[in-house]
Structure 1
Amino acid sequence: MENLGWGVMMMVVGMGVVFALLAVLMGVLMLIGRLDRPPREPGEDATPAPAPVPSAQAAPAPVAPTVRIVADGLSEDDVAAIAVAVMTHAENRRRLAGPETRRHAPGSQLFASRWLAVGRAQSHSSFTRR
């Protein structure tokens, strides 16, 4: 019974130390977050101004999304074509991933023994140094 008491005491001490270190880590990260903020301008107000309430009669017009092209010499049409090609390629590769990663069709090796399946797998894989 004395071993149980010692074990419970070690559990409480260990969990207390872990909790205390997590609290210290949280405090340090909060302090770093406060010290790392960009300095405010003298006239800048801490509270944002309340947003104007839109009237029911004047609905705002939808804003079209804009594309900011970073690369020089590419037009918006070029970027759109590249994006479509990348999405099409990713979709085709996603469909092929299942059969591409398998050596045999699922369920086709049920007739073989485990020893035979392991031997075949080793003979079909490339050499790896152990």
Structure 2
Amino acid sequence: MGVWKVWRELRQRPHIDFALVDMPPGAPAAVYARRGDRAVVLIDRALPPAERLAALAHELVHDERGGSGHVDGMPPSLGDVVAREERRVDRIVAERLIPRDRLEQLVETRSEIEGHICPLVVAEEFGVPERVAHDALSMLLERRSA
């Protein structure tokens, strides 16, 4: 599987209205909301390109899964459920933006030279934020130790 073409994917979802906006201080950097058969994704225009890519990928995965985990007015007791959903979405994003076969190849090549590989190297190679690279490396380690 190749790297997920996130911006192309957005264009293939005509039910989503997308905008880069100036998010107010303290607001999330990206928002997904759905009403009926329409959805909207807002992303803070101040985000660097790699962060924008990851934010859009995250919101598109929410779209695939039927919506975001958080709903205004939901009981605090559902916080753990929302946290699990957000974590699952983050892992899906990492899998799609950093294909396992290419990550394995990078790890093998760079480990021979440097002895180990860090999330920053992976982030730079794939044009993603370090947190996405960290998730991808963590999942690779989980698979190898299973």
Give yes or no for TM over 0.5: no
Give the structure with the larger strand fraction. 2
Higher relative contact order (CA 8 A, sep 6+): 2
